[in-house]
Chains A and B, each alone.
Chain A
Amino acid sequence: MAEAARLVPVMAAAEQAEPPAEHAPGELTVGQLEALLFVAERPLSRREIATLAGVERAVVDAALGDLEVTLREHGLRLVTAGERVQLVTAPEAGALIARYVGADALRLSTAALETLAIVAYRQPVTRGVVERIRGVDSEYVLRTLVHRRLVVEQGRADTPGRPILYGTGFEFLERFGLTSLDDLPPLEPEAALRLDE
């Protein structure tokens, strides 16, 4: 606890960091990046990290790539959702950590799971598309998923009525043990092929 308290001022100063200052070190080692993400209690954007370290975006991207490889042999993983990244525990530690924090297993109905699958694989997607695929009104189930933060609103479509676009966020990735959307198991290939025809 005491250590965490001492770290707070450092974070506060870092968050206020303006565009790279003259004295900025202009370097970002994998170790520094790991340390930064370890302390951060929220997802950080790549741009934010670049500003903090006083380096180009490309340097951050490269360091993140290296860190991801380094972490593979450790109990931590890098979760990537679009622009933002966060350090998390590895999926194989999930049950252990769940016992430590007293987290209950998430239970979702069949309807919620299939709706979530549509959003995850088709995002960004409107409620209309979800309902066309499921063939049934999905307002309630979508609202429940948004409430549980498994589904997040991602702006509005440029179609008449400007319907809300839904996608998945960090909560979804973490709950399902995915470090990025690329981790999603591929859709059943035979059926996917037919759909593309």
Chain B
Amino acid sequence: MASAAVAISLDPAATASTRPEQATHVRLEGFEGPLALLLALIEQRQLDVLTVRLGDLAGAYLEAVARIEEGRLGLLSSFVAVCAQLILIKSRALLPRPPAADGGEAAAGEIDPEEELRQRLIEYRLYRDAGRLLGERLGARVTLFHREADTAAAAGHAGAIPDEAEPLDAALLADALLASLRLVPPAPPRPETVARTITLEERASAIRDALRQAPQFVLQELLSGVRDRIVVAVTFLALLELARGHEVVIEQGEPWGPIYVRPAEHAAGPR
């Protein structure tokens, strides 16, 4: 394990190229978070979280993050934060450290980003592993059941055998059903309803009727008593149909104004 860490630390850039399959074969779907991903990269390389040089993993981590599907971009920000930290760690490792004496107290109080990330990884791993143990308990089916009123009903649904009583004759149920039917007075016949259909033809003849009674009419007046929007719409359609067939002429002076309708042969006549 230690030798593996050393091998990688010798040439961080070579890691990805010498072991490309390891660097790329991390399945991202399984990783809900950046720490889970980073930890998996470490464990996949059989490295020790306590000693691994985290900066060396920046390349592999970036590569894995780059493959996050677009659908999960919402998660990306948390991954990017760890990316940034890894790059910071890596760059710090490359730069010569300032002499401790100059820094004085500030340097002493400063948090090492690598140690900070390492602590987070260790803490995360603690609960991830505890979660795995909990998952194993679920698999072992060790549920404790308490008494509740619903238990008997639930067991009934699950097909538990109620007791050893003789099964009841199905005819009994049928008889009881018939008997109860006789108790109930027959329901009054439902009023017959006929679906109303409004046809273009019907509305067109209504328009023709109106024109027979007067040389012209205003559409709004013809429909003034109608509250059914379908009738209004179909009448309007019928009107357009008649106009298209050069049977009537439609005039409207202004938007929302009265719509005048008159027979086509009166088109040239006075309004």
Which B-chain residue is minimally distant from A92 (CB atoms)?
A: B142
Determine whether A156 belongs to the interface, using a CB cutoff of 8 Å to chain B: no
**B120 engages A135 (CB within 8 Å):** yes
Residue total for A at the interface (Cβ-Cβ under 8 A): 62
A98 touching B32 in the complex, CB below 8 Å, given contacts A137-B78, A185-B130: no
A135 touching B157 in the complex, CB below 8 Å, given contacts A114-B128, A176-B142: no
**B137 engages A176 (CB within 8 Å):** yes
From A39, A40, A98, B143 is in contact (CB under 8 Å) with A98
**A101 engages B134 (CB within 8 Å):** no
Complex Cα spacing A69 to B132, Å = 30
> What is the CB-to-nearest-CB distance from B124 to chain A, in angstroms, rounded to a whole number?
6
Determine whether A195 belongs to the interface, using a CB cutoff of 8 Å to chain B: yes
Which A-chain residue is minimally distant from B143 (CB atoms)?
A: A94
Determine whether B190 belongs to the interface, using a CB cutoff of 8 Å to chain A: no
**A105 engages B138 (CB within 8 Å):** yes
Interface magnitude class on chain B: 35 or more
**A94 engages B144 (CB within 8 Å):** yes
Within 8 A of B (CB), among A87-137: 87-95, 97-103, 105-111, 113-118, 120-121, 133-137
Determine whether A1 belongs to the interface, using a CB cutoff of 8 Å to chain B: yes
B141 contacts across to A, CB distance below 8 A: 94-95, 98, 105
**B142 engages A113 (CB within 8 Å):** no
Within 8 A of A (CB), among B113-157: 119-120, 122-135, 137-149, 151-152, 154-155, 157
A136 touching B131 in the complex, CB below 8 Å, given contacts A103-B154, A174-B145: no
Determine whether B41 belongs to the interface, using a CB cutoff of 8 Å to chain A: no
B146 contacts across to A, CB distance below 8 A: 41, 43, 79, 86-89, 170, 174
Chain A interface (Cβ < 8 Å from any Cβ of B): 1, 38-43, 77, 79, 86-95, 97-103, 105-111, 113-118, 120-121, 133-137, 141, 170, 173-179, 185, 187-188, 191-192, 194-195
